[in-house]
Every structure is written in C-alpha cells, then in structure tokens.
Amino acid sequence: MFQFKNKNILILSPEDWGTNQLSKHLYAKELSKNNTVYFLHTVPHPAQNTFVKKSEIAENLYLLHTQKVARGIFKLPAFLVDFQNKKIIQKILKTIGKPIDVVWSFDQSKFQSLKAFNAGIRIFHPVDYILKAKPFVSRIADSAHVVLSVSNEILNSIETQTPKYFVNHGVDEFFFKKQKNVLKPAFIKQNSVTVGYVGNLQMKLIDYPHLLKTVKENPEVQFVFVGPYAKSNLGRTNYENEINELKNLPNTYLTGELSKEELVNIFPFFDAFWICYNQKEYPIEVSNSHKILEYLSTGKTVISSYFALYQNSSNDIMVLAKNNEMLPALLKSTIQQLPLCNAAEKQEQRINLAQENTYAKQIKRIEFILNNLKATTN
C-alpha cells in the first residue's frame, strides 16, 4: 500500500517560497515531516550563477531555482518545448542527486510532460483556474497518473482521460493552536465590531466596487485588512487607486503583510470575517478559496460573496450572498445578529469543519485515491 513516507518528492510551483504560504507551500511543509521534499519554483532566476541552485529551507525541505526555463511555450510546437524541458529536467535531477518517487505539479504551463521526470507517481494539482494556461492543462493532465483540484468547476474545465478527483483546500494545523497572553493590537478599536479580511489586496479576483461600497455602507464596523497591498512573492495586480481609497476610509485599517504567527495572534480579536470576490467575471476561479477554511478555524462567522463549493452550506457555517449587490445589507444584518451567529455551538461546527481539512488529512485522502487507482489498474 502506498504511503507518503520516506519518499523523494518534487513539487513544481509557479509561486516562489516567501512569507505568503499557499497550498503548494503548505503541502511541501507537511510532506517534509516524513519525506524529502524539493520545491521547484518554475519561474527563471537569470541572475544566479549556477543553472540550478539548491538551498535548504528546513529539515528535509529544499528550494530549487533554475536560471532558465523553456522558451516559446505559447508559440513553439509541443515537441520543441519538451526538448528544452528534457535538458532542464536532467540538470534538476542531477542537482537533486536521487531518483524522484513523486512529481507533484501545481504549475500549469512550464513543464508540459510530467513523464520526463521519471517519477513512479505523477500528480497534476491545479488549484487555480488560469485561462491563458488552458492550452496546456490537458496535455499536462494526460501525462499524470491523477488530476486533483479544489473545485469541480476547475476539474470540469480540464479535458483528459486521466482520473480526476476533488480534494478541498487544506488548512494549516497551526491555526488551531491556542495563543496565550496575547495583547490586543492597538489598531483594534474599543467598543466596535471588527471584521477581518485576510489576503493579497492586489488579487485580480477582488470585486473592489462592492468591497468599497460594503465598507462605506457599514460605517459602524471596523474593517481590518491583513495582507500585502504592494509587491509580494505571490505576484501583483495594479489596484493602487482602489487601495488608496480603502486606506483613506475612516473605518479601515491595513496591516500589510503579516507572518502566520502574527496572523494567528490577531485572529481572536476579530468578531467576523468576510470575502468579496468577483463571481460574475471569474466564476471558475472563485468556485473555492483557501482562506475560507482559515476563517472557519477561528469559529467566527463568515460573510462572503458566492462560492459554488459552499452553496449548500448552512448559514450556521457561513453566510453567502447570492450576488455582490446584497453584500452591504447582508453584512449589516449579520453583524446585528452577531451574538447568535457566534454562539458556542455554531463556532464548534465551523472549527470541526476546518479540522476535517488539515493538510495532514488531505494527504491521507490523496493516499487513499492513489491506492484506489492502483487497485483498479492492477
């Protein structure tokens, strides 16, 4: 029976290692507890003086940067992209110096044939829908043993004969640790309801017109925004005007980028959490979000724009707006019922749901999927 234990695992990620940790980073950290993990950033680093640079992040966890990646992926025929990648992969594997047991790709364009890594298990795990990568995802999926994703909408967009499975986002177990003797941050107002938003404020998915409208129409609520609003390791969109307007509102506070430890320390001082994404323009992209489980881990109520995955969830778990025009009034009415929404039994429900989706449990689910696949193909 297959287990993620004592394996050499290569993770391919379009996002570099940094303060902001997404699913690919958190899977890498969890897997490194029982395996040796190599985390390859699939964007070139031309300034480095070696073709492949390996650096240690933590015990059993290494970061790999390459000087170059395959060129012309949007223009050249697939066999020429594969030819370039074959040479790059040879250098990567030589730097690692060990056979790879599992290649696990979160990348949707650079390495289009996972077979070239000569790994016993090949996993394609697109956690985002990237329209410009659509020409490549079916080819990558065809080269994998299994395709995993965090929403059925993303899975349905991939045309492949490779088996496809839904695996929800994970949540770091760190979020469930009880913090002791934490002082209330100075920016938390006294005698005011505080609603938290956590995430990169430069994300294209944010519906800024309705986000700003909701903040303005709820002046009695303090809105705290936690996350980068300038350049970060997760990329950047130009929302400078919207962010400046947000900063200048009397009932907002932007903390900037915080570490996970700092984040967990301020969570207890939030009365509720919210999300405002543009579901109309990005229906597949916003069919799920990793931050929902992080919010639910606190037990506090969540007010949110529409997410397909949670459309049948009880209001006891989270309050969903059918459309973003409803968000200002929905947030107002939820805040007015905050003692009921944050009742102990409802908080327990939310925490239990989040605890069912830790990265350790998602890895066990993926082991189960892989073992079922082996059973059906033997």
Using CA atoms, how far apart are residues 145 and 147, in angstroms rounded to an integer?
Answer: 7
pLDDT for the residue 375: 62
Which residues pair with residue 225 across a beta bridge? 197, 254
Q: How many CB atoms lie within 10 A of CB 357?
A: 20
In the DSSP assignment, the letter for residue 326 is G
Q: Where are the domains of the chain?
A: 8-170+358-377, 173-355
The dotted CATH code for 8-170+358-377 is 3.40.50.2000
In the DSSP assignment, the letter for residue 171 is B
pLDDT, averaged in runs of 10, over the chain (378 residues): 97 90 93 98 93 96 94 86 91 97 96 95 94 88 97 95 97 86 88 94 94 98 93 63 96 93 92 97 92 96 94 89 96 97 97 97 98 72
3-state secondary structure of 156: helix
Query: DSSP E strands: which ranges in the chain?
Result: 8-13, 36-41, 52-58, 61-66, 102-105, 121-124, 146-149, 164-166, 193-198, 221-226, 252-256, 272-275, 301-304, 319-320
Using CA atoms, how far apart are residues 299 and 239, in angstroms rounded to an integer?
Answer: 31
Give the position of tokens 């881990």: 297
The dotted CATH code for 173-355 is 3.40.50.2000
Domains 8-170+358-377 and 173-355 share a fold: yes
- Contact residues for 253 (Cβ-Cβ < 8 A; gap 6+): 187, 222, 223, 224, 225
pLDDT for the residue 182: 84
- Is the Cβ–Cβ distance between 71 and 84 less than 8 Å? yes
pLDDT for the residue 193: 97
Q: Which of 121, 11, 106 has its CA nearest to residue 367?
A: 121
| Amino acid residing at 219 | P
pLDDT for the residue 378: 46
3-state secondary structure of 300: coil
- Is the Cβ–Cβ distance between 331 and 301 less than 8 Å? no
* Token duo for residue 59: 């015990």
Using CA atoms, how far apart are residues 165 and 366, in angstroms rounded to an integer?
Answer: 9
